[in-house]
Amino acid sequence: MTIAHLLEDFGVKIPVETVSSFSEEVIEEAKLVSFEKGYTAGWDDAIEAKDKETTRISATLAGSLEDLSFTYHEAQTQLIESLDPMFKVLTSVILPDTMAATFGHHIIDHLNEMAKSQINEPMEIVVAAGEGNAVRALLSEDSHVEVRVREDANLSAGQAQLRVGSSERELNSEALIESIRDSIDAFSYQFKEESNYG
């Protein structure tokens, strides 16, 4: 036999309640409410996670685009700066030499174009002093047309005046080259200004 009956019991007696049985409808309703709360909480967490990810991706994309834009502008600036000396050589050496070498052919092409609309009209070419023989030599290759060539001391090299009947046209290769040079200089200046001031 034990001595437990002799010792004082200091424990608290908690009355045991009998569990009342809930109806299946109440249990199903509780499960449904619990499911809805869990589903809503999960949905809200998913939306919040998606929003955070979208914000992070947007920030990363914006940073990448900014870096790409900077790299593009930097590359464009370097390209223009490297092309600038080539443009200067082009407009100061290559174009003038090319125009001088082909100026006679340029004159003949314009004269032929003018003559198409005025058949059997007198044709005249006025060139700078010293350029008449070169033009006459080109005309002798196309000898079926009678063209008068004369020199004018008031014209500079690369200038010519063409007359076919009542039509006149002036050619000025130096003015054309100067116009190209001015366009390139204006482009370079504008690009540098936009690069400096955004």
Q: Going residue by residue through the chain (198 aa), what tens digit of pLDDT does each one get?
A: 677 777 777 776 666 555 556 678 888 888 888 888 988 988 999 999 899 988 888 888 888 887 776 777 777 778 888 888 888 888 888 888 888 888 888 888 888 888 887 777 888 999 999 988 888 888 877 656 788 999 999 998 889 999 998 889 999 988 888 898 898 888 888 888 877 775
Strand partners, 169: 162
Mention every residue, 6+ apart, whose C-beta is less than 8 A from residue 128.
151, 152, 153, 155, 156, 157, 158, 159, 160
Three-state secondary structure call for residue 21:
coil
133, 75 in Cβ contact below 8 A? no
Name the amino acid, one letter, at 80.
I
Q: Does residue 186 sit in helix, strand or coil?
A: helix
Q: What is the pLDDT of residue 72?
A: 72
Instruction: Please state, as a whole number, how many other Cβ atoms lie within 10 Å of the Cβ of residue 179.
Output: 12
CA 131 to the chain's CA centroid: 45
d(CA 182, CA 191): 14
CB atoms near residue 100 (< 10 Å): 14
